[in-house]
Amino acid sequence: LSFNQPKFCPTSIWNPTGITIANQSIVGQFPITIFVNTNNTVYVANLEEGTIVIWDEQSVNSTKIISGNFDQPGSFFVTSNDDIYVDDGWRNKRVQRWSAETNTFVTVMNVNSSCDGLFIDINDTLYCSMHDHHQVLKRSLHDAVITSNRVAAGTGIEGSASNQLNSPHGIFVDVNMDLYVTDCRNNRVQLFQSGKPNGITVAGSTSKNPTITLFCPTGIVLDAEKYLFIVDRRNHRIVGSGLNGFRCLVGCYGIGSQSNQLDNPFSFSFDHSGNMIVTDQENDRIQKFQYFEESCVTQRKLKRKPILEAENETPDGFKTELLIDNSIVMLVA
């Protein structure tokens, strides 16, 4: 895989205070899509300049800028050989592949509108979610016929039925070829099992089993255990599932520009260490939220009574407990 799928423990916690690793001078206004590969190389589309900016996560300065004849890229996907599949559907009605070896572009998919989500599965099938057409299309990259698009999800007519979508955005395909779609205007995440036209609501107020209330989700990632991590855009937060259900992970203090807040985040990616790298769109910045590996240490492993113990409740009702020992800092949800 070209992207990171960490394995987390049930009590995993991220630092609620984010670090800005890139601002408007690097990624432009309203950054949307981000991709972090297994080497911790960060890719972000700069919509203002019509470029893709690439840098090492630990570096302040960008290392490479990819430009071409693509316009307003709404999404992209990076493969293991560093090729980049770029949405160019807004004006040019296509998806392009940029070759890292030759520094050239070639059209790999024809589309009717922008792809708000792009994904390539382990069988080299390319998926494009089109919010204007309420549908997800796919085609095999091994197929020589470029017009060989097939419907992966949605009828092309907006709606809330199990076989319909309403403004789909971010998508994810697991190793079983199951497709997860952030169904923005239906405020849900839909799972379309391989070969089945009807989706199952796996997150949102309309799910069969209680999950969590979403407001226009736009990004989704699965970890190594197939737990869901969702960009809950209009609630300005990232939520995740686990053994005990869903919970808020970062951006749990309401809309804003403080380091512990987000304003209309759009997508995120895990780095190799499990840190979250988030496009904080309305704040024109990229935020990094550090994964606390110590959060997987159980309380009974503390050798002595904590020096400091405090409890805090976020505005949406999620509680965290802070235990500070001489050698351990532990956040317990």
Domains of the chain: 13-296 (2.120.10.30), 300-333 (no CATH)
Give CA–CA dist 1/122, Å, rounded. Answer: 8
* Cα dihedral value 154, 204, 257, 280, nearest 10: -30
321 pLDDT higher than 90: no
Give CA–CA dist 332/127, Å, rounded. Answer: 38
Lowest mean pLDDT among 66-75, 85-94, 220-229: 66-75
Q: Are 302 and 41 in contact (CB under 8 A)?
A: no
Question: If you count them, how many residues does the chain have?
Answer: 333
Please give the pLDDT value at position 310.
46
Model pTM?
0.89
Give the mean pLDDT of the chain: 90
Partners of residue 192 on adjacent β-strands: 179
- Tens digit of pLDDT for each residue in 238-270? 999 998 899 999 999 999 999 999 999 999 999
Closest CA to 37 of 79, 86, 97, 65: 79
